[in-house]
Amino acid sequence: MVDADVRLGLSGSDLAIRDKTFHSALTMTPGTLEAVAHRFLDSIAESGLQGTVTDFQDCNGIPSFTVGAAHVESWLKVAKDHCGYDLLSDCFGVDRLAFKAAHRFEVVYSLYSIEKADRVIVRAALQFGEVCPTASAIYPASVWPEREIYDMFGVEFSGHPDLRRILMPDDWVGHPLRKDFPLGGEEVEFSHNVREQEAK
């Protein structure tokens, strides 16, 4: 079976995910959501941050907390230092314009505890033009994702060690993943039309 999978081009990680034992270790069991959420909130309360959460959601069994941008750095410190969420598994931006939410942008930090094998999500809610503190001093892995969020959404991160565009050219105007970014009208550069422009 393994030989056939290898011949089909499946990598070791693909084979591991197909193993049900390995897959079940990645999913949270029923009842874990409440336990993880209460344990996390207890540490938040001990740090004096209990009044800073603005929303709670169940994201497929993973507790998700939304906080104001001013408090996200404190939440991440508690998550790492007191709750054992030592791995930043993902960091990305969301434009909430089409959802008519109370805030325009979110910076989403997906955290994982290697010891406890559970996850928690912390969302920083930002109004248009609001600056988010960087998480790079707490989770160094956030340096590049925050640059991508800055480039694609225009969210600035205070204290970031190297905040500049990472995907788009330096002279690019606008932020392509904003919901109000204009679509179309951009001529794609091919060798034939570049030569025509140079000839003019």
CA-nearest of 104, 68, 72 to 88 is 72
- 11 in the same domain as 47: no
- 70 in the same domain as 10: no
- 58 in the same domain as 15: no
CB 162 within 8 A of CB 168: no
Q: Residues 74-133: pLDDT tens digits?
A: 999 999 999 999 999 999 999 999 888 899 999 999 999 999 899 999 999 999 999 999
pTM: predicted TM-score of the whole model, two decimal places:
0.78
Task: Tell me if 148 is assigned to some domain.
Answer: yes
Q: Write down the pLDDT at residue 185.
A: 67
- 96 in the same domain as 68: yes
- 140 in the same domain as 120: yes
Task: Tell me if 136 is assigned to some domain.
Answer: yes
Task: Tell me if 127 is assigned to some domain.
Answer: yes
- 88 in the same domain as 65: yes
Question: Range of 23's domain?
Answer: 1-28
Per-position b or e across 78-105, b if 16+ CB within 10 A of its CB: bbbeebbbeebeebbbbbeeeeeeebbb
Question: What is the domain count for the chain?
Answer: 2
CB 122 within 8 A of CB 75: yes
- 161 in the same domain as 74: yes
- 120 in the same domain as 72: yes
Question: In this structure, what CATH number is given to the domain that contains residue 110?
Answer: 3.30.460.80
CA-nearest of 56, 49, 126, 58 to 83 is 49
- 44 in the same domain as 1: no
* Coil/strand/helix, residue 148: helix
Q: Write down the pLDDT at residue 35.
A: 87
Q: Residues 129-150: pLDDT tens digits?
A: 999 999 999 999 999 999 999 9
Task: Tell me if 198 is assigned to some domain.
Answer: no
Task: Tell me if 193 is assigned to some domain.
Answer: no
- 106 in the same domain as 14: no
